[in-house]
Amino acid sequence: MLVFIGATILCFIIWLLFTFNGSIWQWDEITAGIVFSIIAGAITEKVAIKEYRSLSPKKWLYLIAYLPRFFYEMAKANFDVAYRIITGKIKPGIVKLSPGLKNNLSITILANSITLTPGTLSVDVDEAGNLYVHWINVKPEFFEEKDIKCKCRYVCSTFPDWARRIGE
Amino acid sequence: MMWELIYVLLGIGIFFNLLASVGLLRFPDVYTRLHAGTKCTTFGSIFVALAVMAYGLWKWYDGDEAMISLAIHAFFALIAILLTNPTGAHAIARAAYRSGVKPAKAVIDELGGEKND
Amino acid sequence: MNPFMIALVLLSISILIAMIRAILGPTIPDRVVGLDTVNTLVIASMLVFGAATKEVIYIDVAIVYALLSYITTVLIAKYLEGGKI
């Protein structure tokens, strides 16, 4: 029931944003919006994953705090890739990371963040939560480092901590 | 003043989009091409969408009321790009690895030898 | 001249360059990467075209195109992996 109400309200807000054209909404637009939102909400309730822990407001605040930091890393990544496209200096390889995350949401957030940041692209993930990352410029320091946490820091800075705060 | 902002945003966007397609030609194998083909186009498209949003908001502020919908719809298109692009790249990379494409010029491959399903 | 039209011309050039990679190959994943890049560039040029002509309908098409092209990419990837679609 909670999923149904939440999805209906979200769909209705998106409908209002889509049909807004400068002036106030007409009544027939609002009626059609309510009907379609209820249909979409009823379908969502059947397929949704019922996990209410991710609804807590603290996690949403963490997500908002994460976005500027993420965008900064992404801008850095793009200048790095631009430099490599122009000069052609690459040293690719696939490395294994063990960030120690447990649930699916946090692993998804981490994998998507890795794909959009400095020269790294997630290729595969196994059942134990180990990520296999294609790295465009493998640093030799990475192999000398023994500590798993420090190993992650070379590839994806502090993203595992953020993913844990948002997802778990 | 607003035209200069739009010029700068469009310029950055077009520069990265052009660079992405050049990188697609220059890089030696699938994985490095994915680096160019997804990161640079995502970043470039963000700036293109920001330029369109700035244009819509500016025209709306100047009195053309219907132009606000241009900005809102461009924002939703931006969210669609941001959500779908990295996931698609991840799917292609995984499919490429499982269909047997090895990374060219690789210095290390820690995934190799462990996967054979 | 409208700057959005100039941007549209430059985006079309980059679509053509990405098309070369989709045609040349050499492996199937290479072509898929080229196709994916072309899709994203087409979405960006639809946004620019909508702003140039001041028509919102092109941006609506761009949203639907983004979601459909994502489904296409994931389906081709699934097919390459050898799983059932």
Structural domain boundaries in chain C: 3-81
Q: What pLDDT is attached to residue C61? A: 92
Q: Is residue B58 part of a domain?
A: yes
List average pLDDT for each run of 10 residues in chain C, which is 85 residues long. 86 90 84 89 91 88 91 88 68
Looking at the complex, report in whole angstroms how far the Cα of residue B59 sits from the nearest Cα belonging to chain C.
Answer: 10
Looking at the complex, report in whole angstroms how far the Cα of residue B3 sits from the nearest Cα belonging to chain A.
Answer: 23
d(CA C61, CA C49): 11
Q: Among B37, B74, B95, whose Cβ lies nearest the Cβ of C80?
A: B95
In chain A, which stretches have pLDDT less than 70?
Answer: 49-55, 118, 141-157, 167-168
Q: How confident is the model at residue B117 (pLDDT cuts 50, 70, 90)?
A: very low
| CB within 8 Å: A132 and B111 | yes
Q: Is residue B28 part of a domain?
A: yes
Q: What pLDDT is attached to residue C64? A: 92
pLDDT, tens digit (0-9, with 9 covering 90-100), for B85-95: 888 888 888 88
Give the residue from B43, B61, B78, B87 with the most A CB atoms within 10 Å of its CB, the best one to mutate: B43
Looking at the complex, report in whole angstroms how far the Cα of residue A23 sits from the nearest Cα belonging to chain B.
Answer: 7
| CB within 8 Å: C66 and B80 | yes
Q: How confident is the model at residue B114 (pLDDT cuts 50, 70, 90)?
A: very low
d(CA B30, CA B38): 12
Domain of residue B87, residue span: 2-98
| CB within 8 Å: C63 and B20 | no
Q: What pLDDT is attached to residue A98? A: 74
pLDDT, tens digit (0-9, with 9 covering 90-100), for A87-133: 877 777 777 777 777 777 777 778 877 877 767 778 877 777 777 88
Per-residue buried b or exposed e for B26-64, using 16+ beta carbons within 10 Å of the residue's own CB:
bbebbbbbbbbbbbbbbbbbbbbbbbbbbbbbbbbeeee
Q: What pLDDT is attached to residue C12? A: 92
Q: Report the topology of domain C3-81.
A: Helix Hairpins (1.10.287)
Per DSSP, helices labelled H in A20-140 are 27-47, 57-87, 104-115
Q: Within chain C, what is the greatest distance between any pair of CA atoms?
A: 51
Residue A128 has φ and ψ, to the nearest 5°, of -80, 0
- Chain B hits for A86, CB-CB cut-off 8 Å, are 19
- Chain A hits for B23, CB-CB cut-off 8 Å, are 81, 85
Q: Is residue B17 part of a domain?
A: yes
Identify whether the C-beta of residue B96 lies closer than 8 Å to the C-beta of residue C79: no
The total of structural domains in chain B comes to 1
Q: Is residue B116 part of a domain?
A: no
Q: Is A140 helix (H, G, I), strand (E, B) or coil?
A: coil
Residue B18 in this model has a pLDDT that exceeds 80: yes
Q: Is residue B114 part of a domain?
A: no
Q: What pLDDT is attached to residue A65? A: 82
- Counting as contact any 3 or more CB pairs under 8 A, the partners of B are A, C
Q: What pLDDT is attached to residue A150? A: 63
Give the residue from B52, B65, B67 with the most C CB atoms within 10 Å of its CB, the best one to mutate: B52
| CB within 8 Å: B77 and C32 | no
Q: Among A20, A86, A138, whose Cβ lies nearest the Cβ of B72?
A: A20
| CB within 8 Å: B45 and C56 | no
B4 touches chain A (CB under 8 A): no
A77 touches chain B (CB under 8 A): yes
ipTM of model over 0.95: no
Identify whether the C-beta of residue C44 lies closer than 8 Å to the C-beta of residue C4: no
Looking at the complex, report in whole angstroms how far the Cα of residue B58 sits from the nearest Cα belonging to chain C.
Answer: 12
A residues 86-125 lying closer than 8 A (beta carbon) to B: 86, 88, 90-96, 111-112, 115-116, 119, 121-124
Q: Is residue B117 part of a domain?
A: no
- Chain B hits for A88, CB-CB cut-off 8 Å, are 26
